[in-house]
Structure 1
Amino acid sequence: MGLYDDLPDAKPRATTASTARDGDASDDASIRDAKRAKRATGDAGERSEDAQKVQLRDDATVAAPSKAATTKDALQRIAQHLLKPEKFVKASGLLKKLLMSEACDRGDAKALFACLENAMTPTPKARALRAETRLDYEELFEIVAAFSPLIFNAKQKRKLEVWSTYARRINALRTDDSFEFTKAVKAIQEVVDRVDSYVEPPGVIEDDDIEIPPAPEGASEEEAMEMATQYARSIKAERAAEIEQLAVVDELREALIDALEFASSLYGRTWSQTTIDMMSNFFHERRPKFSPTSQERIVKIWDDLRKKKHARSLTSAGDKVSMTSFERDQARAAGSQVSARGSIGAENVKDGRGESAAKMLG
């Protein structure tokens, strides 16, 4: 039996009303704090989701810009590199890929034209005929020619033909294939045939040269002056456009003579001499299509080639090796007798067929 066994059991302390109220208030506060924390967490989560959605939309906008902006920006960057000859190969490759992807349309004509213009700066002759990049120029302008009808206007196409004469037609003369060389010469001659005869370009029109039509009845003095100003402006614009168009055609004429000059520089290749002689005669016969200054260039090239041909014929009199195959066949045919039955080289035939045919023909 223990010391404290007879003591009554301890009773729990009675809870007073004040203590109960304090406990209830504490519990309510804890519940409110928990709910407030939960709402705060939920609001933060919702705000986070909204922020993520906005960020995704922004990222999508940056990652997928409009086609027009992308193509235009790309062409502008390429144009800057095309100005530099050392960067032409890489830049022209990018431009070819862009064209082949069909990303360019009429809305990109100005930016694409600026690219080609930079590629031909300072002059087409100085840029397009460089041995290091001539093949790249030829390939680029072949692709441009395929898309030209879908992109460029008439004014841009005229300028493009000038550039193409250097990039495609003159560079096509650099071949060791006689068939391809003849084909390239023929393409140049076809352009010559399309060119109109040369006319002296008109001068810039002055205000005193413009005859202003009378204003319509009932028009005030201010209206009449405005109409006269607009009429004079339109006449000047038409004259400026005419002068510019004739200037581009004259650039094409110069390009064609550059083609003749380049072909004449290849005269040392024996197999191409006859074709070059014929090309020179072709230009010489069509001198009226060119300006007086250009005609002087044609005559000089033609005369130089004629002298070379004459010197070659004198040499070939004692050395048949220097003659072209065409000239050898021509000389052999000229010395052959034509039989009555129309065959070449039948002068040694003694079978009587020629005599019989002669009797039949009476």
Structure 2
Amino acid sequence: MSIYDCLSTALTTGNINYAWWVDRHGEPQYYWDGSKAGQHICNCGIVGNCSDFNLPCNCDAEFPQWVSDSGAITNETALPITKLRFGGQQFEAQKANYTLGGLACKGKTPPPDNPAESCSSLRLAGNTHPGYYLINPKKGRLDVVMCRMDLEETDPKFQLETSARIAGAGFLHGKITPLEYPTQSCSSLRQAGNAHPGYYLISTKNRLNVVMCRMDLEETDPKFQVETGAYIADLYHLTHPRGLPLQGVGAVACGFEAETHYVARAPHGDDVLPGKLVPSHRTTYVSYGGKEYAKSHYQVLVSDEQEKLVWLPGSNGSIPSGALQGGINEWSEPVYIGRSTCLLKARKGDETKLRKTKRVEKKPVLCSSQKFDP
């Protein structure tokens, strides 16, 4: 529950926002009740009883008396609130107070020995990062799916199927601790705190493999890590690297400005967009609508010695054979990895996103001799 008490002080006037909160993805939000991303609205605007029926919030009327706006933000993909920002007080007579209540969580967490049947049950179990997961949709079978934990569960892109699946029994579900380095083996999973024997996803040779990790055995036992043969091709297998030394793991460089930038991608709204990772910032920047957005949760493009990646010229919207798809937009169109020169420096930006429906002039495109799934 949040309460904003105000005296002649507006939250928003016209197109000027004097108050907002920052969600867990670092994005500013202007709604103060419910789940109304992209809107400026309060509880009174939702139920239709604001003091000024032409405004979405009581405080926006700037009455010379104390009024308030209260509500509960329920958008679980945006919570928790990380920052509050207020301003717009130019006169001594203007006053405001804001009270932010505690975060309330509801739902049932699956017991440790119960397989996750969907991305929804994984979210209930505490998994919040977008990425590939193992689920058990049918008895005796495990599927690899992409879970967009940053989206609402009603969004059709919240759970995306892949072709990777295996027949498995006795899968034990446990919350996987987010790693500060790539998950490359059962050993690294154990070091991250995973103690349950079962099937896991690991990253090797530019793909994700499903393996059986016998956490109840010694690492020297040949049965400690057993391959299943199920995998999906995915170059982007470094997630949340933070302090990781990128040169040592084959991260693909895309340009230079004071330091080397690397190819990465991150979710933004309903899109997954390629962008540039700036190591010193520990942040990936993606472009959308002519603006650049900072993302602290991202994936880094990685290539090994056997898979040579090259930048090939592209023009007039043409996409060279073998171009790597870096993401997908809200219309389900593929977005390819490209780069251009800005002030004589190779950088990534708005001009680097190549779409089949958009004309782009003379932009180098990253290509591979092999085909990889997005």
Q: TM-score range by the shorter chain?
A: under 0.3
- Name whichever structure is richer in helix by fraction: 1
- Bigger CA radius of gyration: 1
- Name whichever structure is richer in strand by fraction: 2
| TM-score where L is the length of structure 2 | 0.21
